[in-house]
Amino acid sequence: MGQTFIPAVFYRGGTSKGVFFHARDLPAEREACDPILLAALGSPDPYGRQLNGMGGGISSLSKAVIIGPPTRPDADVDYTFIQLAVDEVVADWTNNCGNLSSAVGHFAVDEGLIRARDGETLVRIHQTNTKKIIHSRFLVANGKAETDGDFVIAGVAGTGARIRLDFLSPDGAVTGRLLPTGNSVDMVDLGGDGHFEISIVDATSPIAYVDAASLGLIGSESPDQIEAQPKVMDTLEKLRRCAGVMMGLASRPDQVGLQTPRMAMVAKPAAFASLDGQAYKAEDFDIGTRMMSMQRAHRAIPGTGGLNLGVATQVPGTIPNRLSRPANAAGEVRVANPSGLVSVGAVVRQAGNEWTADSAVLFRTARRLMQGEIAVPTNAVAHSETKLRRYG
């Protein structure tokens, strides 16, 4: 059958990498897109390495982005995110990636989708998965997005030009409510595995939080140490699926998808060493977290995860609020994760009997790694109506 070559760009955005496509180069129907995206990333791979595609064998490296013209007057581009499972035939369109959001503005400028003057540029992004608006601010030099700079983010070697991401009205991205159950804390009965308090917060994406101490952990363990405890991983997955039912995403735990909601452990500040060996004292940060993504312990922190946690720490009564030190005067908290520290900000207020978030802020860097055409088996696009160049 040969191969089909599709124009694409490979980006690092924050602590994630993904393949970026123009909407014009892919089918409009999701069912036709899925086999193309899975093939491009190399999924499913029973060996868990995605050697036959552009993926990297873990959730943060198995992602795709589609950019198209805006369908809202308050946006410059539409941005759709797809999470591809590594070892399963799963293309999940239900959520956003905060890290890859940082590369969307760069793509829009560098691909000529918008005109930008040199200096600081604002790109207004319509995030179609969550139907929210993101404002991306970054420097442009000689008509292209600037990548050189002195900003450092945990989990990425070297430095880059800072990107400011303002997620507007991030609450209720999936469920329509900041606290989907109406409660700051809910109790989950796992039968013989015990009873657990969880806090379910939907800001930029839904996350269920549990106190690491309730699982017998300190909260400063490395991803490998967490995954080496099957009972802990099994309990976290059961809690995640129960949370999905409680927030109305499915009627039964076994119907809850792999990506949404995410599950996170949180803990009071305690000294730890990051994956690069740097030592941190408890006074260096305000709250610790270890987040799960696609049933694996994340080696850094998802961008939407950091944003969600920044909001959650400001909502009275939630587990993150109980365990975190107060935010600083700018409304920011310092979050410890396996790769180091990240600062996140949020503006949260009470509206009647409910809490709402006006905005959440994240700082990232991004870099274009490759541009050209990505090869996928022609049979992956055989049933689509897209006008693609075919070789072979």
* 3-class SS letters over 330-383: CCEEEEEECCEEEEEEEEEEEECCEEEEEEEEEEECEEEEEEEEEEEEHHHCCC
Question: Same domain for 213 and 328?
Answer: yes
Asked whether residue 131 is domain-assigned, the answer is yes
Question: Same domain for 283 and 387?
Answer: no
Evaluate whether 53 touches 192 at the Cβ level (below 8 Å). no
End-to-end Cα separation, the chain, in angstroms = 7
Total domains in the chain come to: 2
With a cut of 50, say whether residue 392 has pLDDT above it: no
Question: Same domain for 201 and 317?
Answer: yes
CATH number at 214 reads: 3.10.310.10
Asked whether residue 338 is domain-assigned, the answer is yes
| pLDDT, mean over the chain | 95
What confidence score (pLDDT) does residue 208 get?
98
What confidence score (pLDDT) does residue 383 get?
55
The residue to which tokens 């935010």 are assigned: 327
pLDDT average, residue stretch 5-32: 97
225: helix, strand or coil: helix
Question: Same domain for 140 and 9?
Answer: yes
Q: Please report which confidence band the pLDDT of residue 217 belongs to, taking 50, 70 and 90 as the band edges.
A: very high
pLDDT average, residue stretch 130-147: 97
pLDDT average, residue stretch 364-370: 98
What confidence score (pLDDT) does residue 288 get?
98
Residue with the bigger pLDDT between 259 and 44: it is 44
Asked whether residue 361 is domain-assigned, the answer is no
Question: Same domain for 8 and 155?
Answer: yes
- Taking only the tens place, the pLDDT of each residue in 95-122 is 999 999 999 999 999 999 999 999 999 9
Question: Same domain for 347 and 372?
Answer: no
Q: Please report which confidence band the pLDDT of residue 1 belongs to, taking 50, 70 and 90 as the band edges.
A: low
Domain hosting 244: range is 186-351
What confidence score (pLDDT) does residue 284 get?
97
Q: How far apart are CA 42 and CA 175, in angstroms?
A: 31
Asked whether residue 265 is domain-assigned, the answer is yes
What confidence score (pLDDT) does residue 381 get?
84
Question: Same domain for 198 and 341?
Answer: yes
The residue to which tokens 């999940």 are assigned: 92
- Taking only the tens place, the pLDDT of each residue in 268-307 is 999 999 999 999 999 999 999 999 998 999 999 999 999 9
Q: What's the pTM value of the predicted model, to 2 decimals?
A: 0.89
With a cut of 70, say whether residue 226 has pLDDT above it: yes
Question: Same domain for 267 and 154?
Answer: no
What confidence score (pLDDT) does residue 331 get?
86
With a cut of 50, say whether residue 390 has pLDDT above it: no
Asked whether residue 168 is domain-assigned, the answer is no
Asked whether residue 167 is domain-assigned, the answer is no
Question: Same domain for 127 and 214?
Answer: no
What confidence score (pLDDT) does residue 382 get?
73
Query: CA 108 → CA 32, 77, 120, 249, 298, distances in Å?
Result: 24, 7, 14, 32, 28
Question: Same domain for 16 and 140?
Answer: yes
- Strand-pair category, 262-267 with 287-293: antiparallel
What confidence score (pLDDT) does residue 40 get?
98
DSSP 215: G
With a cut of 90, say whether residue 38 has pLDDT above it: yes
With a cut of 70, say whether residue 46 has pLDDT above it: yes
Asked whether residue 180 is domain-assigned, the answer is no
What confidence score (pLDDT) does residue 329 get?
86
pLDDT average, residue stretch 147-167: 96
Asked whether residue 100 is domain-assigned, the answer is yes
- Taking only the tens place, the pLDDT of each residue in 308-323 is 999 999 999 999 999 9
Q: How far apart are CA 343 and CA 214, in angstroms?
A: 26
- Strand-pair category, 16-22 with 63-68: parallel
Question: Same domain for 150 and 205?
Answer: no
- Taking only the tens place, the pLDDT of each residue in 323-346 is 999 999 888 999 999 999 999 999
Task: Look up residue 18 and give its two tokens.
Answer: 């993904």
Question: Same domain for 28 and 139?
Answer: yes
What confidence score (pLDDT) does residue 330 get?
84
